[in-house]
Amino acid sequence: MKISVSFLKSNYDKLETIKKINNTDCDYIHVDVMDNIFVNNYTEDLIPYLNSCKKPLDVHLMVQDPLEYILAYKNLKPEYLTIHLEIDKDISFLLNKIKSLGIKAGIALNPQTPIDKLKPYLKDIDLVLIMSVQPGLGGQKFMPSCLEKIKSLVELKEKNNYKYLINVDGGINDITVKDVKTAQVDMCVSGSFICQAEDFQKQINLLK
């Protein structure tokens, strides 16, 4: 299972946090981008901080209008750019735009959104991000209801030979990670569990 580290909720400033993540064996740095419209939170321009990243980037756009952010982040050459299914935009157009830039495209699903709404896009995407908390705020408690969604995605993937990775984001720690591993996720995002600890690598080892 791959580990993607979210750095916004940390005991250290952003540059120091990214430096500490760089020195671990995690697989990705997870970049939470918020616009205070789609979610009730806002992130400043993170691009200047991300130039020091030595890990592949996994960018999660919690924004109502992703296109401007896709164009802004493309120069960092992230491995994944993930948009939310719940936005009132042309999802297929946005996925095609991401892929046209040579970036893998993902879709995120909020806790209240059923898997059925995702089915038309599954054959075309590289990653599904299942939210196990309400998006927009770090440090929330894990919602076990996400586990059934993960299991459904595993079944759909196997049945149809789809290629997407299954990622889960929210409330991941050394206890909840056991449940998502059992549900067969490919990757999980962890933020405060890692970045509010003194030893980042120790926390990553606990997850792995």
DSSP 48-107: HHHTT--S-EEEEEE-S-THHHHHHHGGG--SEEEEETTSSS-HHHHHHHHHHTT-EEEE
Query: Can you give the pLDDT at residue 196?
Result: 96
Annotated active-site residue 169? The verdict is yes
Tokens of 196: 């509010």
Query: Can you give the pLDDT at residue 136?
Result: 80
**5-57 pLDDT per residue, tens:** 999 999 999 999 999 999 999 999 999 999 999 998 999 999 999 999 999 99
Query: Can you give the pLDDT at residue 147?
Result: 97
pLDDT at residue 138 tops 80: no
Tokens of 203: 């926390």
**Rounded to an integer, what distance in angstroms lies between the CA atom of residue 62 and that of residue 187?**
19
**68-96 pLDDT per residue, tens:** 999 999 999 999 999 999 999 999 999 99
**Rounded to an integer, what distance in angstroms lies between the CA atom of residue 146 and that of residue 177?**
12
Give the predicted TM-score (pTM) of the model.
0.96
Annotated active-site residue 13? The verdict is no
CATH of the domain at 179: 3.20.20.70
The range of the structural domain enclosing residue 47 comes to: 2-207
Residue in 13, 58, 169, 179 annotated catalytic:
169
Query: Can you give the pLDDT at residue 99?
Result: 98
pLDDT at residue 139 tops 80: no
How many domains does the structure of the chain reveal? 1
DSSP 14: H
**Rounded to an integer, what distance in angstroms lies between the CA atom of residue 171 and that of residue 120?**
28
Query: Can you give the pLDDT at residue 203?
Result: 98
**Rounded to an integer, what distance in angstroms lies between the CA atom of residue 40 and that of residue 136?**
6
Residue in 27, 32, 58, 126 annotated catalytic:
32
**156-194 pLDDT per residue, tens:** 999 999 999 999 999 999 999 999 999 999 999 999 999
